Amino acid sequence: MKAFFKAKPKPTIAGLLTEFFGEAQSWRETNDSLEPLIELIRLIRPVKIKNVQRVDLQEIILFLKENYSCREQFFTYLKEILKDKKFNKILADAAILQDVDFIFEVKKRIFAKLLPYQPQKDTLEYILNQVFYLANDGIWINKIPLSQLEELYNLLRFKSIYDSTEPNSVLSELLVSMHLITQRISGRAMETDVIKMVPEYDDLESPFSAFEKELFLIEERIRSSDSHYIAPDDLSYAQLLVLHKQCVEFVDRAFHNSSKYGISLRVNQNLLKIRQQLERLKFLISLLIVGKEKDKKYNGIILALRLIKFNCYKNNVRKFIGESTQLISYEITQHTAKTGEHYITESRKEYYKMFKTALGGGFIVGILCVIKVLLSKADTSFFGHAFLYSMNYAFGFIAIYLLGFTLATKQPAMTASALIKALEEGVIKKGKDSEKYTAFAILFARVFRSQFIAFVGNVIMAFPVSLLGIWLIDYTAHYNIAATKWESLLIDISPIHSPAVFHAAIAGFFLFLSGIISGSVANRDKHNQVYFRITEHPFLKRNLGKAKTLKLAELYEKRGAGIISNFWFGIFMGSTASVGLFLGLNLDIRHITFVSGNLALGLYGANYQVSNSMLFWGIFGIGVIGAINFIVSFSLSLGLAFRSRAISLYELRFVTVSIWNHFKSNPVSFFFPTEKKAKSVVVENYLHVEDRKNS
């Protein structure tokens, strides 16, 4: 019985090589010719790749040195499976953006992960798909010491990649892939939307066309010469590098100009693909250079490693999404950063001005609370109520925005980007400059107290306005509109008697989303030249006159993105509950200012006859809901801003410590302006410094 359950001994590398390449030569009889190589790589592959610093091939090297016959059979086996295998598609396509349609590319990559695309069996890509099929195989392969790879290269008598330029040879495949990439780049760089991003090149020869011509001449020389490579000091090679640099500068300039002209996702994808192709060309060009004899061996090894890496990363979804969205998110957060600076108070004058604008916001919200209760009386469907509530919220938020009032928690999505702008300008230098951390902590304190006073202003105004509104209706119409709803109005505020915390988090997410919409619309309008198109609209100029048309364009440029953002914020806030009812889910929103108004309505509806417990949890719930609103919207916005500027989240560790230390030393500054003007000059310099990219 014990013998039956005895574990099968784990195969060793020596045992596997002996089995397939020993005297029996069983590799010739296998149904799948790739089985020996697949099994060998499975034994070499580390179990936990992240914890491995070095992948040692010494066992294989020693075995092959001591077993001549196995080494010869292994050499013959590799020669047969690799003979005439095409791989130009890997070099030209793998790990490079294939489609400029973002959604299509994401879906294609996800599907390819679940059901990998299998190329023809006469290609090297098929072999790599079968042998190195794990996405992280490209990581551990690079942890093999180069000296061991060189030793294996010599033992297995691999030929130089420069031996031949015949069709299907290594060098021929290399040259074909370079030719494919350059042709694709030249065509894509000439597309109208791409050229529009770089008007500086309108009267200049395209660097891509010049690069393609120079590369073609070098390719002709390589194919016709006996050596099949070029020297490092070759003048044509130097010229090629100059042209390549000009192509890179073209793309960099186009990305840089996104701050002037905006950028669409499609143009972003086009430029990103050109950049990736230029990086690939730079690598491939380096393989054409041989300075010393040992470079031939080194280039062959590097080519093999890169082929594996490219093939492993070709369906990487996370990296693709990250690269594709970084610039777009940057442009969006740039807009919100500029807007956010207006929501950060420093002096007492600014602080009290924020309080006054928050009172105005609370006044309008108090009215919206009363109107919403009235709209709830309408006899209509879920979606009828969703429409009515959405319009109530949307036009109310737009009114707050146009009148220059402040809605609490609406600012965190903006102020987070302003904080990151300070980080980008050099506030943090790898945790070594404590003074700059302190400056950032002071800036955060300013942000926090600005939000705090906005909370206070909204809450203390929304409560009495709602109370006055319901009293006036009762006084004039003799109808208490909250008489049947007071209990639900009060219970919904309590964080222990209802999912108020969850609903507050939903509101926080919508606050974040409205900030994204604002930045996205501003970026889109800039890219589509909406301001200029309105200014020069022939119908408007003829009927309104040039002066009024210009004012209309200026008004849209200044307020358009904010109006659209607030409109959609109202839609989100007004339709969430109805959508939840339709889906059978407990979805709703809780915003600090609105729950303050609802508390007033609930108290009046109950004729002030509520228990002390209910009153306590109602008041306490206002603070909890406000905190959740702020934390969720600010955290999401901060994460996006970090991502857009490629700042590591590890920096949060230093930032958090600095903020905590500042709070311990000066807690009052988080609620009231206490710093002297001179003390925050450093912060002001960071916050209002001109964007270096526009200098």
Banded model confidence at residue 419, pLDDT cuts 50, 70, 90: low
Residue 363 scores a pLDDT above 90 = yes
Q: How many CB atoms lie within 10 A of CB 253?
A: 14
- DSSP assignments along 197-265, one per residue: T-GGGTTS--HHHHHHHHHHHHHHHHHHSSS-SB-TT-HHHHHHHHHHHHHHHHHHHHHHTHHHH---H
Q: Are residues 99 and 150 in the same domain?
A: yes
Banded model confidence at residue 654, pLDDT cuts 50, 70, 90: confident
Average pLDDT over every residue of 342-361: 84
Average pLDDT over every residue of 440-448: 79
* 407 domain residue, yes or no: yes
The β-bridge partners of 123 are 86
* 527 domain residue, yes or no: no
Cα–Cα distance, 118 to 34 (Å, whole number): 15
Q: 310: closest CA among 90, 89, 88, 38?
A: 90
- DSSP assignments along 80-111, one per residue: HHHTT-B-HHHHHHTTS---S-HHHHHHHHHH
Cα–Cα distance, 299 to 290 (Å, whole number): 8
Banded model confidence at residue 448, pLDDT cuts 50, 70, 90: confident
Q: How many CB atoms lie within 10 A of CB 686?
A: 21
378-389 confidence digits (pLDDT tens): 888 888 999 999
Mean of per-residue pLDDT scores for the chain: 84
Q: Are residues 438 and 585 in the same domain?
A: yes
User: Which residues does 280 contact at the CB level (< 8 Å), separation at least 6?
Assistant: 91, 92, 96, 181
Q: What values do phi and psi take at 539, rounded to 5?
A: -65, -45
Q: Are residues 688 and 594 in the same domain?
A: yes
Q: What pLDDT score was predicted for residue 678? A: 38
118-154 confidence digits (pLDDT tens): 888 888 999 999 999 888 898 899 999 999 999 999 9
Whole domain around residue 493: which residue ranges?
Answer: 345-513+562-625+642-694
* 139 domain residue, yes or no: yes
Q: What pLDDT score was predicted for residue 681? A: 43
Evaluate whether 629 touches 511 at the Cβ level (below 8 Å).
yes
Of 8 and 312, which is predicted with more confidence? 312
* 546 domain residue, yes or no: no
Cα–Cα distance, 557 to 532 (Å, whole number): 10
Residue 609 scores a pLDDT above 80 = yes
Residue 431 scores a pLDDT above 50 = no
Average pLDDT over every residue of 154-168: 90
Q: What pLDDT score was predicted for residue 7? A: 47
Q: What values do phi and psi take at 163, rounded to 5?
A: -70, -30
Q: What pLDDT score was predicted for residue 683? A: 44
* 329 domain residue, yes or no: no
Average pLDDT over every residue of 610-623: 91
152-156, 524-528, 686-690: least confident range:
686-690
Q: Kindly report the CATH number assigned to the domain that includes residue 608.
A: 1.20.1080
Cα–Cα distance, 435 to 663 (Å, whole number): 15
Domain count, the chain: 2
* 384 domain residue, yes or no: yes
21-69 confidence digits (pLDDT tens): 888 888 888 888 899 999 999 999 998 887 788 999 999 999 999 999 9
* 58 domain residue, yes or no: no
Q: Are residues 292 and 399 in the same domain?
A: no
* 59 domain residue, yes or no: no
Q: Are residues 282 and 354 in the same domain?
A: no
Residue 337 scores a pLDDT above 50 = no
Helix (H, G, I), strand (E, B) or coil at 123: strand
Q: Are residues 109 and 212 in the same domain?
A: yes
Helix (H, G, I), strand (E, B) or coil at 115: coil
Cα–Cα distance, 493 to 497 (Å, whole number): 8
Q: 371: closest CA among 597, 647, 522?
A: 597
Residue 646 scores a pLDDT above 50 = yes
Residue 100 scores a pLDDT above 90 = no
Q: Are residues 681 and 607 in the same domain?
A: yes
Q: Are residues 294 and 352 in the same domain?
A: no
245-271 confidence digits (pLDDT tens): 999 999 999 988 887 888 877 888 888
In the chain, the amino acid numbered 238 is A
Q: 215: closest CA among 249, 188, 251, 244?
A: 244
Evaluate whether 480 touches 472 at the Cβ level (below 8 Å).
no
> Which residue in the block uniquely carries the two structure tokens 């956010």?
340
- Domain boundary among the residues 261, 293, 315 is at 315
Residue 570 scores a pLDDT above 90 = yes
> Which residue in the block uniquely carries the two structure tokens 């202003």?
457
Of 98 and 123, which is predicted with more confidence? 123
Q: What pLDDT score was predicted for residue 529? A: 84
216-239 confidence digits (pLDDT tens): 999 999 988 888 899 999 999 999
Q: 139: closest CA among 320, 312, 323?
A: 312
Evaluate whether 640 touches 333 at the Cβ level (below 8 Å).
yes
Q: What values do phi and psi take at 346, rounded to 5?
A: -125, -60
Q: Give Cα 104 to chain centroid, integer Å.
A: 17
Cα–Cα distance, 598 to 369 (Å, whole number): 7
Cα 395 to Cα 167, 360, 402, 403, 553, distances in angstroms: 69, 15, 10, 12, 22
Q: What pLDDT score was predicted for residue 341? A: 47
Q: Is the pTM of this model over 0.75?
A: no
282-322 confidence digits (pLDDT tens): 999 999 999 998 999 999 999 999 999 999 888 888 777 77
From the number of C-beta atoms within 10 Å of its C-beta (0-12, 13-18, 19+), residue 677 rates as exposed
Q: What pLDDT score was predicted for residue 326? A: 67
Q: Are residues 485 and 569 in the same domain?
A: yes
Q: Are residues 259 and 135 in the same domain?
A: yes
Q: Are residues 168 and 221 in the same domain?
A: yes
In the chain, the amino acid numbered 83 is K
Tell me the two tokens of residue 177: 């892939």
Q: Are residues 579 and 663 in the same domain?
A: yes
Q: What pLDDT score was predicted for residue 628? A: 93
Q: What pLDDT score was predicted for residue 684? A: 47
> What is the share, in percent, of the chain residues with pLDDT greater than 70?
87
Residue 501 scores a pLDDT above 80 = yes
